[in-house]
Amino acid sequence: MKPIQVDDASFQNEVLNSDKPVLVDFWAIWCGPCKLIAPTLEEIANEYDGKLKVAKMDVDANPRTAVNLGVKSIPTLMLFKGGQCVAQIVGNMPKRQLLDKIIPHIG
């Protein structure tokens, strides 16, 4: 499963109201590290399909949500569970390191 695209209008329904944990990638088209982490997020979306949703939000096209959540640099990954942010990761990192931060919150 590929990451889903979310925007300011769909964030509440797709992320905060989700019955599964949702990893949201706040990114922009011009961001080099965002491009580097994208293939890793696609792998995670496929490997954890059914247990975890992976979503992408373009901060340039959807600034309201990013500002409300205090996103100051990208890529920023936020893991939401039960409508609450339970983990925040800033910057690109190896897949194993990323999974070490996510796995404790999915079950």
Helices (H), the chain: 11, 32-47, 63-68, 95-102
Quote the CA–CA distance of 76 and 46 in Å, as a whole number. Answer: 20
User: Which of 6, 15, 31, 89 is flagged as catalytic?
Assistant: 31
Q: Please confirm, yes or no, whether 85 is among the known catalytic residues.
A: no
- Structure tokens of 14? 């797709």
User: Which of 6, 22, 24, 34 is flagged as catalytic?
Assistant: 34
Which residues face 89 on adjacent strands? 77
User: Could you tell me which of 14, 15, 80, 2 has the C-alpha nearest to residue 44?
Assistant: 2
The residues annotated with a catalytic role in the active site are 31, 34
